[in-house]
A and B are shown apart, each in its own frame.
Chain A
Amino acid sequence: MSAPTTLSASDHSTVAGPGGSGPWRGTSVPMQIIILTGRSLRAVVASRALVLLGLLQPLIMLILFSQVFASLAGTSSFPAGVSYIDYLMPAVLVMGSLSVALQSGVGLLDDMRNGVVARFRTLPIASASVLVARSLADVVRHALQLAIMLVLAATLFGFSPGGGFTGVLLAWLMCIAVGWSLSWMFMAIGVWISNVEVMQGVTSMVMFPLMFASSAYVPLSSLPAWLRAVATVNPLTYSVDASRNLALGNPVGVGGLAALGAAGLIGLTGAIVATRGFRRSA
Chain B
Amino acid sequence: MSDSAQRKEAAVSLFVEAEGITKTFGKVRALDDVSLQVPRGTVCGLLGHNGAGKTTLVNVLTTLVTPTSGHASVAGLDVQRDAVTLRSRIGLTGQFASVDEQLSGFRNLILIARLLGASTKEAKERADELLTAFGLREAAARPAKTYSGGMRRRLDLAASLVGHPDVIFLDEPTTGLDPAARIAMWEIVEQLVRDGSTVLLTTQMLDEADRLADKIVVLAQGKVIAAGTSASLKAQVGKRTVTLTLADKPDAERAADAVRRAGMDPRVSGVDELAGLALTVPVEKSTDLVRVVRALDDVAVEPVELALVDPRLDDVYLALSGGPADSPTDTERH
Please determine whether chains A and B interact with each other in the same assembly: yes
Q: Which residue of B lies closest to A39 (CB)?
A: B111
Which segment, of A91-99, A117-125, A168-176, A255-263, faces chain B?
Answer: A117-125
> Which of A12, A18, A111, A122 has the most B CB atoms < 10 Å from its CB?
A122
Q: Is A75 an interface residue (CB 8 A)?
A: no
Min distance, Cβ A45 to any Cβ of chain B, angstroms: 10
B163 adjacent to A14 (CB under 8 Å): no
Q: Which of A4, A19, A39 is in CB contact (< 8 Å) with B126?
A: A4
Q: Is A15 an interface residue (CB 8 A)?
A: yes
A16 adjacent to B164 (CB under 8 Å): yes
Q: Is B94 an interface residue (CB 8 A)?
A: yes
A42 adjacent to B196 (CB under 8 Å): no
Q: Is B299 an interface residue (CB 8 A)?
A: no
A1 adjacent to B111 (CB under 8 Å): no
Known: A7-B129, A115-B99. A16 touches B116 (CB 8 A): no
Instruction: Give complex CA distance A116, B107 in Å.
Output: 13
Q: Which of A7, A13, A35, A42 is in CB contact (< 8 Å) with B132?
A: A7
Q: Is B194 an interface residue (CB 8 A)?
A: yes
Q: Which applies to chain A's interface (DSSP): helix, strand, loop or mixed? A: loop
B88 adjacent to A14 (CB under 8 Å): no
A20 adjacent to B166 (CB under 8 Å): yes
B166 adjacent to A121 (CB under 8 Å): no
Instruction: Give complex CA distance A124, B163 in Å.
Output: 11
Q: Mark B64-106, 1 if CB is under 8 A from A, else 0.
A: 1100000000000000000011011111101011111111000
Q: Which positions 1-36 of chain A face chain B at CB distance < 8 Å?
A: 1-2, 4-5, 7-9, 11-27, 32, 35-36
Which segment, of B117-125, B174-182, B227-235, B279-287, faces chain A?
Answer: B117-125
A116 adjacent to B99 (CB under 8 Å): yes
A16 adjacent to B125 (CB under 8 Å): no
Q: Which residue of A lies closest to B118 (CB)?
A: A24
Q: Is B205 an interface residue (CB 8 A)?
A: no
Q: Is B192 an interface residue (CB 8 A)?
A: yes
A18 adjacent to B117 (CB under 8 Å): no
Q: Mark A206-237, 1 if CB is under 8 A from B, else 0.
A: 00000000000000000000000000000000
Q: Which positions 194-212 of chain B face chain A at CB distance < 8 Å?
A: 194-198
Q: Is A43 an interface residue (CB 8 A)?
A: yes
Q: Is A46 an interface residue (CB 8 A)?
A: yes
Instruction: Give complex CA distance A4, B196 in Å.
Output: 16
Q: Mark B258-269, 1 if CB is under 8 A from A, else 0.
A: 000000000000
A115 adjacent to B89 (CB under 8 Å): no
Q: Which of B59, B163, B192 is in CB contact (< 8 Å) with A22?
A: B163
Q: Which of A12, A39, A122 is in CB contact (< 8 Å) with B100?
A: A39
Q: Mark B1-30, 1 if CB is under 8 A from A, else 0.
A: 100000000000000000000000000000
Q: Is B42 an interface residue (CB 8 A)?
A: no
Which A residues lie within 8 Å of B129 (CB)?
A: 4-5, 7, 14-15
Q: Which positions 77-93 of chain A face chain B at CB distance < 8 Å?
A: none
Known: A24-B163, A123-B115. A19 touches B99 (CB 8 A): no
Which A residues lie within 8 Å of B166 (CB)?
A: 18-20
Instruction: Give complex CA distance A150, B59 in Å.
Output: 48
A25 adjacent to B111 (CB under 8 Å): no
Which B residues lie within 8 Å of A49 (CB)?
A: none
Which A residues lie within 8 Å of B141 (CB)?
A: none
- Count A interface residues, CB 8 Å: 45
Q: Which residue of B lies closest to A115 (CB)?
A: B98
B115 adjacent to A12 (CB under 8 Å): no
A19 adjacent to B133 (CB under 8 Å): no
Q: Is B160 an interface residue (CB 8 A)?
A: yes
Min distance, Cβ A109 to any Cβ of chain B, angstroms: 14
Q: Which of B40, B84, B122, B188 is in CB contact (< 8 Å) with A4?
A: B122
Q: Is A47 an interface residue (CB 8 A)?
A: yes
Min distance, Cβ B185 to any Cβ of chain A, angstroms: 12
A17 adjacent to B164 (CB under 8 Å): yes
B192 adjacent to A12 (CB under 8 Å): yes
A115 adjacent to B96 (CB under 8 Å): yes
Q: Is B250 an interface residue (CB 8 A)?
A: no
Q: Which positions 116-138 of chain A face chain B at CB distance < 8 Å?
A: 116, 118-125
B135 adjacent to A9 (CB under 8 Å): yes
A282 adjacent to B97 (CB under 8 Å): no
B116 adjacent to A124 (CB under 8 Å): yes
A119 adjacent to B40 (CB under 8 Å): no
Q: Which of A4, A16, A25, A43 is in CB contact (< 8 Å) with B88?
A: A25
Q: Is A155 an interface residue (CB 8 A)?
A: no
Cross-chain pairs A/B with CB under 8 angstroms, 29 sampled: A4-B122, A4-B129, A9-B133, A13-B194, A15-B161, A16-B195, A17-B164, A18-B196, A18-B197, A19-B198, A21-B89, A22-B89, A22-B164, A24-B118, A26-B84, A26-B88, A27-B115, A32-B115, A46-B103, A115-B96, A115-B101, A116-B99, A116-B100, A118-B94, A118-B98, A119-B99, A120-B115, A123-B88, A123-B112
B contact set with A: CB distance below 8 Å? 1, 40-41, 59, 62-65, 84-85, 87-92, 94, 96-103, 107, 111-118, 122, 125-126, 129-130, 132-135, 137, 143, 158-161, 163-166, 168, 188, 191-192, 194-198
Known A-B contacts: A15-B130, A115-B97. Give 7 more (CB < 8 A).
Answer: A13-B195, A19-B196, A24-B88, A27-B117, A43-B102, A111-B100, A118-B98
